[in-house]
Structure 1
Amino acid sequence: MFLPNKVFSVKSFNLKKWIKKFDEEFKKLWNESPLSYSDNEKEASWEQFHSKTFATEKRKLKPWRYYSAAAVLLFVLIGTGIYFNNKPQQQNIVLAENVIENRTSKIKYVVLPDDSKLELSPNSKISYGTNFALNRKIEIDGEVYFKVKKDKQHPFQVFCNETTTTVLGTSFIVNETEDEKVTVELYEGSVQMNVKGKDQKWILKPGEKFTYGNQIASVEEFSRFIDFDNEKLSVLSQYIEKNYGYKVILPSENLDQKITIRINKKEDLKTIVQLISEMYNLNFEINEDLKQITFQ
């Protein structure tokens, strides 16, 4: 801790004002802790530190006491935060009161207690605690596509093998293969990747894939779009049926009409349907019971 290059006289130095300024600056630094801690946790931790370090009865001590406290706090921040990181590792705290498995051959759609949505692939499983809306931590086994509802107060974390995905955005896939290799593909927003036992973190951008296996982590680009270049509309209909599970019925006169379009592979189905409707001036009806989309 370096003090300003200035000499204070006894008359000009106002200890109370200086201490108040110190408190304010320290609290700003303290609140720049990792994203995985809520504002409430930061505030509680600050109060704990503040009460121990700057207690009222200690304010009568000599200024060097406060210089020492400043040095301690800077050390805490540089060392990633004793008060925060002395907590047990978050890797194994997810409880399994709620377990959802997909033992079918089709994608299973799930809405979580915080209104986040996910697609559970065949032979996949998720588990989370009963207080999920406040403690948004979830463990997965297999492949899951997430569309996370934003909540800055409650970070969303996905635990898979030794990796932790902290959600800073909305749309991504986490997949664990049989050989315990984990991949995360980001479609929208951003996510932060951490690996147990490693200090490094990786922040992904849309179109980037994180892979971890055999103690090796890597990031590479992947194609998050599919292109239909002057294809028949019936080809797009087949794509919808295969990837979304809805049968598409088109008027016979539109089957051979051509379309050129780029689609995010995880685009919302209704967005695609509305786009077709506007491009070809068609009305549509979606029958959820029959899983059928009819254009007319």
Structure 2
Amino acid sequence: MNDENLNKKRLRQLVNKLFKAQITQEEKQLLDDWYLSKEEEDPIVYTDLSKEEYKEKLYQATLDKIKKGDTKRNEGFTFLTKLAASVSIICVAATVLFYFLTSTEHQEFLTYKSEKGERKKIELQDGTQVYLNGNSVLKVNKEFDEARHVMLEGEAFFKVKRNESLPFQIKTHQLTTTVLGTSFNINARSEANESVAVKSGKVMVASNRKEEEVIIEKGEQAIFYESNLSSSQIENEDLVFGWQSEKLVFFNETINGVAKKLEEWYGVEVEVFSKTSKECLITGTYKNLTIDQLLEIIQYSTNINYTINEKKVMIINEGC
């Protein structure tokens, strides 16, 4: 165990003693010193709250606990406030919790990455299987045996090994998905609305921006659209899950939309030149085709021409 892990463990112990009103002056000084050392840092967070706003929110929650707690608990918090002689010690605790719960700057991760045109299968140490779609990044907490937390950029399908005592949590830019053990797909690409689709079991999806969450089951999906989280039935399972069985699926896709998917799927660069403003909508499911074969099929139903020069593709759209 390295020094950073020792420090984290010690900080957790001090915070626990703080809230149990069992902290000594020397231990309080350790927390004060730690707080001061972190005060100038600007951690990366997945919340709309600033560090100061987060401190204030936790401080208010602490005051609520004081008001609602039983006599013994109130005595402990009274001792705590006397010991602190100000709200500074609460701010220290807020910073410690903020540091552990929302910062990625001070955590260590194992990083798995897939390039454009590459799909990768990963098995985590608990037996969970992850299928990483092209141009995606998965970061796995190095202290995975203590907290099954991962971060995702892009798209992945998860088959989570069940562990009721240790929930599995995936954080993306907009959403946090929590499960015990199930299979589901998460699409968190920057150009799309973030979504979570369940193939088996049940998951809880929460917004990182506000207090909003939904529980979805097999055949359902959660979508984050225009800052709102909603759920609905999955209408086309191939469109959501098909990629993991090497199916490239289009549903009412424009030529520009097709081009974007071709880039991700084949790892190429695609340029589209349109000679018309009329959009041709393309629907179809394709498997085990080269990009040349696929474009030739699309050419039968739409008026396009194309050229392929190694990793560069040019599509000329002349309308439907």
TM-score range for the pair, normalised by the shorter chain length: 0.3 to 0.5
TM-score relative to the length of structure 1: 0.47
TM-score relative to the length of structure 2: 0.44
